[in-house]
């Protein structure tokens, strides 16, 4: 498995493309492990990486994000992580995992030694490459769920938020994140251009905003576009471009998803 990862990376010319392909292959391997351990019986895939794997979002993504759908008897976050680590080691990777399961959002980092060196991305054998995984154990209520089978490197049956709920999650990020993450705004433009009549899961959006003490009027079917328009209008688009450019499959997308074009879609 590691040999195939190295082969995929070797086919890329640019260093950034090598990094993105390597990360995505490792994400797929971790997702395969989660499927094999039965974790998609009680956790749902969401976030940017879910958009990438499930709907072909035109950019790469960094983290693996999930929400706990229900409590599972006998489930242990730590035990599952250690199983994944052993599988990664068996596949040829020098892997380790660190984690914290004492907070509402359980998180873990899978750390790979030597890969950056072997792929020519670092002159240092000791430099590590990490993939972050998070599971929200107290997610906002109201998400719609779906099961999808996706074959991206490995066939996996995912339990995931449905499209309307994923969209609500993206709007929540745009409206509530305390800093500008350009990928949120690229994703927003991508959503609006691909599904022009898509409405977010407003119940989920309202519950998410209430969880973080949102002080303004909760967006409705009649107002969500205006609320999001205001958020986009006030953003420095240079920050958006700087954040997202290293994750794009096609750099020409920067000329498509401009601030003016995204506002026009709203």
Q: Does pLDDT of 213 surpass 90?
A: no
- Considering 161, 180, 204, which residue would you say is the last residue of a domain? 161
Q: Tell me, what's the pLDDT at 178?
A: 86
Q: Do 51 and 114 lie in a common domain?
A: yes
Task: Tell me the residue length of the chain.
Answer: 266
- In whole angstroms, how far apart are CA 24 and each of 68, 122, 153, 216, 221? 23, 18, 9, 37, 35
The mean pLDDT of 26-45, rounded to a whole number, is 94
95 SS3 class: strand
Q: Do 98 and 213 lie in a common domain?
A: no
The mean pLDDT of 52-72, rounded to a whole number, is 94
Q: Tell me, what's the pLDDT at 73?
A: 79
CATH number reported for the structural domain that contains residue 111 in this entry: 3.10.450.620
Q: Within 13 Å, how many C-alpha atoms sit on residue 14's CB side? A: 9
Q: Tens digits of per-residue pLDDT, 229-252?
A: 999 999 999 999 999 999 999 999
Q: Do 15 and 96 lie in a common domain?
A: yes
d(CA 55, CA 169): 15
- Considering 161, 195, 216, which residue would you say is the last residue of a domain? 161
Q: Tens digits of per-residue pLDDT, 80-117?
A: 999 999 999 999 999 999 999 999 999 999 999 999 99
Q: Do 63 and 127 lie in a common domain?
A: yes
Confidence of residue 160 (pLDDT cuts 50, 70, 90): very high
Count of domains forming the chain: 2
| Residue 108 · residue 98 · CB < 8 Å | yes
- In whole angstroms, how far apart are CA 141 and each of 165, 198, 257? 11, 20, 31
Q: Do 31 and 114 lie in a common domain?
A: yes
Q: Do 2 and 94 lie in a common domain?
A: yes
Q: Do 224 and 206 lie in a common domain?
A: yes
Q: Tell me, what's the pLDDT at 109?
A: 97
The mean pLDDT of 115-132, rounded to a whole number, is 93
Q: Does pLDDT of 74 surpass 80?
A: no
8 CB-near residues (< 8 Å, 6+ apart): 21, 22, 25
pTM score over 0.75: yes
Q: Do 218 and 243 lie in a common domain?
A: yes
- In whole angstroms, how far apart are CA 8 and each of 1, 21, 159? 11, 7, 27
Q: Tell me, what's the pLDDT at 83?
A: 93
What range defines the domain where residue 85 resides? 1-161
pLDDT > 70: percent of the chain: 100
The mean pLDDT of 194-201, rounded to a whole number, is 95
Phi/psi at 156 (5° precision): -135, 135
Question: Tokens for 127?
Answer: 């430099």
170 SS3 class: helix
| Residue 64 · residue 76 · CB < 8 Å | no
Q: Do 31 and 154 lie in a common domain?
A: yes
Q: What is the mean pLDDT of the chain?
A: 94
Q: Tell me, what's the pLDDT at 39?
A: 92
Q: Tell me, what's the pLDDT at 212?
A: 87
Q: Do 125 and 192 lie in a common domain?
A: no
- Considering 128, 161, 194, which residue would you say is the last residue of a domain? 161
Q: Do 209 and 153 lie in a common domain?
A: no
| Residue 34 · residue 40 · CB < 8 Å | yes
């Amino acid at each position: 498995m590691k040999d195939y990862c190295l082969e995929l990376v070797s086919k890329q010319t640019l260093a950034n493309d090598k990094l993105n392909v390597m990360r995505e292959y490792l994400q797929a391997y971790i997702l395969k492990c989660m499927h094999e351990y039965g974790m998609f019986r009680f956790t749902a895939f969401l976030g940017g990486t879910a958009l990438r794997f499930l709907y072909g979002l035109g950019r790469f993504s960094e983290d693996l994000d999930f929400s706990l759908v229900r409590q599972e008897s006998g489930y242990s976050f730590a035990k599952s992580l250690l199983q994944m680590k052993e599988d990664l080691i068996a596949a040829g990777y020098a892997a380790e995992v660190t984690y914290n399961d004492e907070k509402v959002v359980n998180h873990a980092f899978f750390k790979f030694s030597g890969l950056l060196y072997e792929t020519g991305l670092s002159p240092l054998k000791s430099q590590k490459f990490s993939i972050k995984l998070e599971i929200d154990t107290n997610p906002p209520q109201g998400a719609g769920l779906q099961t999808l089978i996706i074959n991206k490197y490995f066939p996996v049956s995912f339990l995931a938020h449905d499209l309307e709920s994923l969209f609500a999650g993206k709007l929540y990020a745009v409206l509530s994140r305390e800093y500008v993450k350009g990928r949120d705004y690229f994703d927003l433009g991508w959503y609006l251009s691909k599904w022009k009549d898509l409405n977010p899961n407003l119940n989920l959006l309202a519950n998410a905003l209430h969880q973080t003490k949102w002080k303004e009027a909760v967006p409705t079917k009649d107002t969500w576009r205006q609320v999001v328009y205001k958020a986009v209008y006030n953003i420095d688009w240079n920050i958006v471009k700087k954040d997202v450019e290293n994750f794009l499959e096609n750099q020409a997308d920067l000329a498509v998803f401009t601030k003016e074009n995204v506002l026009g879609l709203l």
